[in-house]
Amino acid sequence: MLQENVLADQAPAVPATDRIAIESWNDKEISGTVRNGDAVRLNIYLANRRMVSLDASVPLVHFDNATFQVNTEFFPAACLRDINLTIEHADGAISSFNPNDVRHVSNAVPHSLYGGMWIDYPDWEERLNEKLRDGVVSETVAELIRTFVADGYVVIPQAVSPEVVAHVNDRMLDVWAGQVPGHKIEVYGESVQVVDVDSKYYSQAHKLLDSYAFIPEAQHAASAPAVVEFMSAVFEDKPKAFQQLTFEWGSQQAIHKDTAYVKIDGNPMSMMATWVALEDITEGTGELEYYVGSHRSPDYIFGSLSKWMEAAPQEHEDFLAALHADAEAYGHRRAKFLPKAGDVLIWHADLAHGGSAVTRHGVTRRSQVTHFTAAKNAPYYSRWSGFASNVRNGVEFVSSYSNVTPD
Ligand SMILES: O=C(O)CCC(=O)C(=O)O
C-alpha cells in the first residue's frame, strides 16, 4: 500500500551492503537484489516520512523477497537526496540505504536535486571512457567534456568562421535599420519591455531577441560544427536552440545561474548556452565573467520548492548573494572571457556567470548568446507557443516570438 504523510515509525538502521546489492539509484528508479532472498518488507522514507511500505507488489514497486524495483519518477524532485530505503530481513535485521551509501552505483543520483545530464552523475568518467571505447565520442570531444565537467564551461577557439561572423554583423545592421520586420528587442526602463526593434534603443542597454528566427546567418553562427558535436555528446541527443540574445554592449548583468529564469520542461538542468564573440572583445567593455566550477555548488531552492525563481521572486537578492557566498565557500575563482571574433564559450546550465562592469563606455562588445536543450526536451514556453521550427546543421531552432525562417 502507498501511505502518504505517515510519520516514520522506525528509526533507520545502519547500511548493510553485505546483504543487499543496490543496482540502480537515480531519479527514475531504485533497484537491487537481496543476497539471501530473505527480505520480508521494504520501506521508503522521504525526509523521514514513510511513503511506501510493502510486503507484496504495489503500483510503482516490484518486491519479491529477493529483488526490488521502486519507480521514483513521481517522487518530489527536491526529496530525491532525502530518500531512505530500508529492507527488513526474515531474521529481524534491517538494511538501510540513502543516496550517499550508493555512490559506487553506476547510475547514482546527479549533483543537483533537480536532475542533470550524464556528465552530472558521479560516474561520468566511466561513462565517458565507455563512449570513447565505443567510438561514440572523439578524444577531442572527450577532452572538452573533461574541462566542462571540471570548470562548468569550455571554450572552442575559432569555432565560427570569419565569414559567418561577418554575415551576422552585416545582418544586424539591417535589423537596426528596421529592415527585419517582426524582430523584437528587450529594453529596460521602469520595467523590462519587449518591443519592436527601433534604432532609438541602439545606444542603451538591450538584448535583441531570437535573431535566428529572422536571420539564417544567426542560425549558422549558433550551429558551428565543433559546437554541435560537443553539445550532441553532452545531451546524448541533437541540440535544440530555443532562445537567442544578441548584444551590442556589455550587459552588466549580475552574476546569476540561468536555471533560475530559463525554463525547460522536464529536466531543468538539461541546458547549455553558447556565447559567440562577434568581434575581438577587449577589457572594460563588460566582458562575460563567471565563477569557475560554480556549476557544482548546491542548488538554490526558491521557496524551499523550486529551482525556478518564479516560485519565490522575493528571494532574488538572496539568490544572487548566495552565488557569491558559495564561490567564497568552495573557492571558485572569478574569471573573464576575452575572446577573439569567432571563439565560442559554452556554459553549463548551473554555471554562475554575468556581465562585468563596463569601464570603457561607448566601446562595443558584440556577442550572441544562444540557449539550448536536448531535442527530446522542450522549453517551457512550448506549452502555449506553437511557431514553426527550422533544422539547420543538426540543430532545431524554435522561438517564442516567430516562426523560424528556413532561408
Ligand atoms: O553576455 C552577457 O553579458 C551575459 C549574458 C547572460 O548572462 C545570459 O544570457 O544569461
For the CA of 262, the nearest atom of ligand 1: 10
Question: Among the three residues 93, 109, 125, which one is the final residue of a domain in this structure?
Answer: 109
Q: 135 is written with which cell numbers? A: 567510438
Give the CATH number for residue 11: 2.60.40
Residue 156: inside a domain, yes or no? yes
Count of structural domains within the chain:
2
Write the single-letter amino acid at 75: F
Burial-class residue 90 by CB neighbours within 10 Å (0-12, 13-18, 19+): exposed
Question: Among the three residues 92, 109, 126, which one is the final residue of a domain in this structure?
Answer: 109
Whether residues 99 and 44 fall in one domain: yes
- For a substitution probing ligand 1, which of 188, 192, 207, 251 has the most ligand atoms within 8 Å of its CB? 251
Whether residues 180 and 86 fall in one domain: no
Residue 176's CB is within 10 A of a number of other CB atoms, namely 17
Ligand 1 centre distance from Cα of residue 257 (Å): 10
Question: Among the three residues 109, 127, 162, which one is the final residue of a domain in this structure?
Answer: 109
Give the pLDDT of residue 188: 93
Residue 296: inside a domain, yes or no? yes
Whether residues 272 and 391 fall in one domain: yes
Whole-number CA gyration radius for the chain:
24
Report how far residue 272's alpha carbon sits from residue 238's, in angstroms, rounded to the nearest whole number. 12
Whether residues 85 and 148 fall in one domain: no
Residue 390: inside a domain, yes or no? yes
Contacts of 163 (CB under 8 A, 6+ apart): none
The pLDDT profile of the chain, 407 residues, written as one tens digit per residue, is 233 333 334 444 545 667 888 887 777 788 888 988 888 888 888 766 776 666 544 556 788 888 988 887 777 766 777 788 889 999 998 988 887 776 555 456 677 878 889 999 888 999 999 999 999 999 999 999 999 999 999 999 999 999 999 999 999 999 999 999 999 999 998 899 999 999 999 999 999 999 999 999 999 999 999 999 999 999 999 999 999 999 999 999 999 999 999 999 878 899 999 999 999 999 999 999 999 999 999 888 888 778 899 989 999 999 999 999 999 999 999 999 999 999 999 999 999 999 999 999 999 999 999 999 999 999 999 999 989 999 999 999 999 999 999 98
Residues in the chain: 407
Ligand 1 centre distance from Cα of residue 253 (Å): 7
**Going by CA atoms, what residue is nearest to atom 6 of ligand 1?**
354
Residue 162: inside a domain, yes or no? yes
Whether residues 53 and 155 fall in one domain: no
Ligand 1 centre distance from Cα of residue 143 (Å): 25
Ligand 1 centre distance from Cα of residue 349 (Å): 12
Residue 7: inside a domain, yes or no? yes
Residue 129: inside a domain, yes or no? no
Residue 309: inside a domain, yes or no? yes
Q: How does strand 83-89 pair with strand 67-71?
A: unpaired
Q: Name the phi and psi angles at 8, rounded to 5.
A: -55, 135
- Report the pocket of ligand 1 as residue ranges, CB < 6 Å: 245, 247, 250-251, 253, 258, 288, 353-355, 367, 369
For the CA of 356, the nearest atom of ligand 1: 3
Whether residues 222 and 359 fall in one domain: yes
DSSP string, 234-245: HHTS-EEEEEEE
Whether residues 99 and 146 fall in one domain: no
Whether residues 105 and 159 fall in one domain: no
Give the pLDDT of residue 305: 75
Ligand 1 centre distance from Cα of residue 149 (Å): 20
Q: How far is CA 253 from CA 72, 140, 250, 286, in A?
A: 38, 33, 8, 9
Report how far residue 175's alpha carbon sits from residue 171's, in angstroms, rounded to the nearest whole number. 6
Site of grid cell 556565447: 275
For the chain, how far is it from start to end, CA to CA, in angstroms?
Answer: 57
Whether residues 97 and 153 fall in one domain: no
For the CA of 353, the nearest atom of ligand 1: 7
Query: Of 214, 20, 182, 231, which Cα lies nearest the Cα of 105?
Result: 20
Write the single-letter amino acid at 65: N
Whether residues 295 and 162 fall in one domain: yes
Give the pLDDT of residue 208: 98
Ligand 1 centre distance from Cα of residue 369 (Å): 7
* Boundaries of domain holding 27: 2-109
Beta bridge partners of 275: 345, 369
For the CA of 258, the nearest atom of ligand 1: 10
Whether residues 207 and 330 fall in one domain: yes
Q: How far is CA 280 from CA 165, 200, 277, in A?
A: 11, 25, 7
Report how far residue 196's alpha carbon sits from residue 149's, in angstroms, rounded to the nearest whole number. 39
Q: How far is CA 275 from CA 22, 166, 188, in A?
A: 41, 16, 22
Asked if 218 and 246 count as a contact pair (C-beta separation under 8 A), the reply is yes
**Going by CA atoms, what residue is nearest to atom 3 of ligand 1?**
355
Asked if 337 and 288 count as a contact pair (C-beta separation under 8 A), the reply is yes
Distance of CA 50 to the CA centre of its chain: 31
Whether residues 94 and 180 fall in one domain: no
Give the CATH number for residue 153: 2.60.120.620
Distance of CA 179 to the CA centre of its chain: 35
What are the residue ranges of helices labelled H in 204-300?
216-221, 225-235
**269-291: b (≥16 Cβ within 10 Å) or e:** bbbbbbbbbbbebeeebbbbbbb
Residue 125: inside a domain, yes or no? no
